[in-house]
């Protein structure tokens, strides 16, 4: 079920009413959450509900058994049961054919012919997200940072919570799970702020991302016939497509959760205003970046130790992050390229230079800040080419065409007028993001306006723009494929 669908527009208010009608009994509320979440997920393919249920049962049981034993060996075995079950499902559904095809290619290169058939495997929506969420639970119990729960209903609701089930944020058990144990009461201010965040998320998805996708898909699919200036447009359109699409999903998920009295972690913090790549990765897909930091990077030694260890750990974390996104060498190269971007900052100890908000107490950035943001955005766009390309050859051909003499020619798009209109929309979008960069989301500050008519005019304008520029067909979110 898509957030931007008629189905969800009917589903959400029905669940909202049932949920708050059950507010006198916490257990009943949690049962409503589970029922709604399983219906929401089963809307795609009911067969994959068994995966969520099995993962829930395994991690619930492992958590209880971990708490019952102090034996180090037994605890390690239990932890590995959870890791192997969760990553086993993820590896089979997402990476089986990738490893098989590369295994065959490697033997063919050495002169051996290997006969094997790939499987027609359907990737379960959101499996990369909820497996990491449940893993955080067992790992934290193993580290004795979290006590296990015996309340299976609450735990099942935590694992399957529908707003963030299929594309995050990837919640930590220490943050989200305790919220299922306490009585929730309806807060009007929280709900209205959640609705604002949902509206902004829909604008990002349906106006910015979906319209950028039309041009990005056309240009990337036929990159061999376009000149450098058109390829630049394609790369930039994809950069705003993926940002609007993914951060839009996160805004909708966080906003929907607030309607039900839950607080999810922030997942994006205006990453395209970053002044270096370290800042970018503190602001982009925060829930995944911090997950890898806490459960992979720091256990490897983090930024401690000798320089070669810092280099090793940085490449591991970025390569793993790239591979998490998909079974394609393009994602691995994308991760390696970001590691190359990040390493000079780490080795020179400048990766923490930009912690605060850019131009924090000023209306406009300085010239230096503008240049740093432009450089960071340019490097990010180049990396996005590998992320979007069909394969490595496609990415390099795209970049070679981009950095050619035709870079300074007039773009050759058939619908140049629509592309110009989209550029204006993106400009307005970024101005709004800039004005609201100190907030949790761009239009959160509207609540401080004293005149009600101004607020409602802004809402009406956003809804009008969404209505005018929305696609006629429902479009899935990019991260559903991951």
Shared-domain flag, residues 211 and 151: no
433 and 468 assigned to the same domain: yes
Q: Supply the residues annotated as catalytic.
A: 325
Instruction: Please give the average per-residue pLDDT across 416-423, as a whole number.
Output: 90
- 3-state SS string over the chain? CCCCCHHHHHHHHHHHHHHHHCCCCHHHHHHHHHHHHHHHHHCCCHHHHHHHHHHHHHHHHHHHHHHHCCCHHHHHHHHHHHHHHHHHHHHHHHHHHHHHHHHHHHHHHCCCCCCCCCCCCCCCCCHHHHHHHHHHHHHHHHCCCCCCCCCHHHHHHHHHCHHHCCCCCCCCHHHHHHHHCCCCCCCHHHHHHHHHHHHHHHHHHHHHHHHHHHHHHHHHHCHHHCCHHHHHHHHHHHHHHHHHHHHHHHHHHHHHHHHCCCCCCCCCCCHHHCCCHHHHHHHCCHHHHHHHHHHHHHHHCCCCCCHHHHHHHHHHHHHHHHHHHCCCHHHHHHHHHHHHHHHHHHHCCCCCCCCCCCCCCCCCCCHHHHHHHHHHHHHHHHHHHHHHCCCHHHHHHHHHHHCCHHHHCCCCCCCHHHHHHHHHHHHHHHHHHHHCCCCCCCCHHHHHCCCHHHHHHHHHHHHHHHHHHCCCCCCCCHHHHC
Evaluate whether residue 282 is within a structural domain.
no
How confident is the model at residue 240, as a pLDDT? 97
Output phi, psi for 285, to 5 deg: 45, 60
| Cβ contacts of 302 within 8 Å, gap of 6 or more | 293, 313
Same domain, 127 and 84: yes
Instruction: Print the domain residue range for 456.
Output: 189-275+354-481
Taking residues 305-330, report their average pLDDT: 88
Task: Identify whether residues 238 and 179 lie together within a single domain.
Answer: no
What's the whole-number average pLDDT of the chain?
90
Which of 135, 170, 185 is the endpoint of a domain?
185
| pLDDT value at residue 103 | 57
Asked if 27 contacts 100 with a C-beta cutoff of 8 angstroms, the reply is no
Where among 156, 185, 214 does a domain terminate? 185
Whether residue 471 is predicted with pLDDT greater than 90 in this model: the reply is no
Predicted pLDDT of residue 110? 59
Per cent of the chain over pLDDT 90 is: 69
136/219 same-domain check: no
Q: Phi and psi at residue 57, in whole multiples of 5°?
A: -65, -40
Residues 250 and 145 in one domain: no
| 108 and 236 in a common domain | no
| pLDDT class of 241 with cuts at 50, 70, 90 | very high
Q: How many CB atoms lie within 10 A of CB 305?
A: 12
Nearest to 137 by CA among 183, 85, 201: 85
What is Dmax (Cα atoms) for the chain? 75
Report how far residue 35's alpha carbon sits from residue 149's, in angstroms, rounded to the nearest whole number: 20
- Give a yes or no: residue 101 inside a domain: yes
* Mean predicted confidence (pLDDT) in 193-205: 96
Look up the pTM and report it: 0.93
Q: Is the pLDDT of residue 286 over 90?
A: yes
Q: Which has the minimum average pLDDT: 81-95, 233-247, 248-262, 416-430?
A: 81-95
pLDDT at 482: 66
**Residue 16 shares a structural domain with residue 119:** yes
Residues 167 and 225 in one domain: no
Mean pLDDT to the nearest integer, 170-188: 93
93-139 confidence digits (pLDDT tens):
777 766 666 555 555 555 556 555 655 667 778 888 889 999 999 99
The per-residue pLDDT for 327 is: 78
Look at residue 101 in the predicted model and tell me its pLDDT. Answer: 60
Query: Same domain, yes or no, for 68 and 212?
Result: no
In tens, the pLDDT along 210-238 reads 999 999 999 999 999 999 999 999 999 99
User: Do 169 and 95 share a structural domain?
Assistant: yes
Are residue 239 and residue 365 in the same domain, yes or no?
yes
Out of 82-96, 313-327, 438-452, pick the least confident: 82-96
Tell me the per-residue pLDDT of 350-397, one tens digit each, with 9 for 90 and over: 988 899 999 988 999 999 999 999 999 999 999 999 999 999 999 999
Where b means 16+ CB within 10 Å and e means fewer, 142-180 reads beeebebbebebbbbbbbbbbbbbbbbbbbbbeebbebb
- Per the structure, the count of domains in the chain is 2
Q: How far apart are CA 160 and CA 306, in angstroms?
A: 42
Q: What is the pLDDT of residues 44-84, one digit of tens each?
A: 888 889 889 999 999 999 999 999 888 899 999 999 999 99
| Boundary residue ending a domain (163, 185, 207) | 185
């Amino acid at each position: 079920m898509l957030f931007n669908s008629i189905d969800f527009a009917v589903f959400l208010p029905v669940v909202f009413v049932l949920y708050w009608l059950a507010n006198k009994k916490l257990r009943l509320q949690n049962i409503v959450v589970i029922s709604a979440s399983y219906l929401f997920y089963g809307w795609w393919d009911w067969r994959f509900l068994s995966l969520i249920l099995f993962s829930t049962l395994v991690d619930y049981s492992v958590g209880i058994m971990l708490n019952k034993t102090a034996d180090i060996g037994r605890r390690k075995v239990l932890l590995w049961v959870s890791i192997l079950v969760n990553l086993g499902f993820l590896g089979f559904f997402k990476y089986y054919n990738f490893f098989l095809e590369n295994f065959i290619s490697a033997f063919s290169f050495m002169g051996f012919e290997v006969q094997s058939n790939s499987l027609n495997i359907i990737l379960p929506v959101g499996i990369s997200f909820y497996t990491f969420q449940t893993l955080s639970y067992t790992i934290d119990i193993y580290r004795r940072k979290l006590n296990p729960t015996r309340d299976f209903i609450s735990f099942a609701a935590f694992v399957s919570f529908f707003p963030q089930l299929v594309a995050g944020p990837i919640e930590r058990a220490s943050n989200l799970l305790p919220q299922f144990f306490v009585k929730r009461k309806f807060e009007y201010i929280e709900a209205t702020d959640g609705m604002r965040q949902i509206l902004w998320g829909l604008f990002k998805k349906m106006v910015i991302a979906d319209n950028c996708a039309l041009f990005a898909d056309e240009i990337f699919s036929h990159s061999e016939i376009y000149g450098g200036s058109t390829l630049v447009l394609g790369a930039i359109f994809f950069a705003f497509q993926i940002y609007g699409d993914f951060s839009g999903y996160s805004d909708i998920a966080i906003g929907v959760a607030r309607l039900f009295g839950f607080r999810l972690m922030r997942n994006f913090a205006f990453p395209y205003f970053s002044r270096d790549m370290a800042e970018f990765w503190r602001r982009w897909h925060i829930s995944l970046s911090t997950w890898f930091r806490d459960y992979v990077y720091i256990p490897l030694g983090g930024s401690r130790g000798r320089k070669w260890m810092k280099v090793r750990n940085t490449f591991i974390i970025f390569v793993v992050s790239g591979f998490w996104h998909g079974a394609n060498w393009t994602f691995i190269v994308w991760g390696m390229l970001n590691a190359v971007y990040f390493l000079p900052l780490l080795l020179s100890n400048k990766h923490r230079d930009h912690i605060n908000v850019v131009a924090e107490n000023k209306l406009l950035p300085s010239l230096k800040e503008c240049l740093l943001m432009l450089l960071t955005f340019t490097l990010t766009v180049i990396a996005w080419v590998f992320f979007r390309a069909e394969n490595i050859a496609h990415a390099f051909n795209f970049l070679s065409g981009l950095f050619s003499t035709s870079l300074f020619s007039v773009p050759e798009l058939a619908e140049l007028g629509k592309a110009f209109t989209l550029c204006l929309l993106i400009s307005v979008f970024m101005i709004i993001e800039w004005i609201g960069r100190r907030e949790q989301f761009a239009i959160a500050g509207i609540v401080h306006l004293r005149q009600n008519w101004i607020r409602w005019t802004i809402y009406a304008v956003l809804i009008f723009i969404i209505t005018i520029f929305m696609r006629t067909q429902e479009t899935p979110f990019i991260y559903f494929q991951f």
